[in-house]
Amino acid sequence: MPLKPIKTKERLEEIKKDPLKAVDYARYYLKNRWPEAEPVIMQSAYSASTYAFYLIGGRWPEAEPIIMQSSYQAFWYAKHVMQKRWLEAEPFIKRDMYDWYSYKKHFNID
């Protein structure tokens, strides 16, 4: 029995349900923000910080509460997106010794 072809609209709905796939679709195919997928993208700290860096080109305040939940992604976001210390996220970054060490070293904190 041949496989049923996936229609474009159905495929987009599938992509929209996966944060990382949604970021990749916006980044490589749309080459722009994808507002309809942003609520799903915000569910993942990694996807949200990647989306902010590559597609927004700056801070994404709506996603920051999710991003700061991951010590590494909070450090990465501060370093690459904000390009400055992220004071509100420091308590979360401190939860991981290595991420805190890297953060302090990068931002010259005693």
Q: pLDDT digit string (tens) for 11-45? A: 889 999 999 999 999 999 999 999 999 999 999 99
Q: Would 69 be classed as within a structural domain?
A: yes
Number of domains in the chain: 1
Task: Count H helices and E strands in the chain, helices first.
Answer: 8, 0
Q: Which residue segment(s) compose the domain that 70 sits in?
A: 10-106
Q: Is residue 3 part of a domain?
A: no
pLDDT category of residue 96 using cuts at 50, 70 and 90: very high
Question: Residue 77 falls within a domain, yes or no?
Answer: yes
Domain assignment of residue 4, yes or no:
no
What are the respective helix, strand and coil percentages of the chain, to the nearest 5?
A: 70, 0, 30
Q: What is the pLDDT of residues 63-91, one digit of tens each?
A: 999 999 999 999 999 999 999 999 999 99
What is the rounded average pLDDT of the residues 89-100? 98
Q: What is the pTM of this model?
A: 0.90
**Does 2 score more than 80 pLDDT?**
no
Indicate whether 84 belongs to any domain: yes
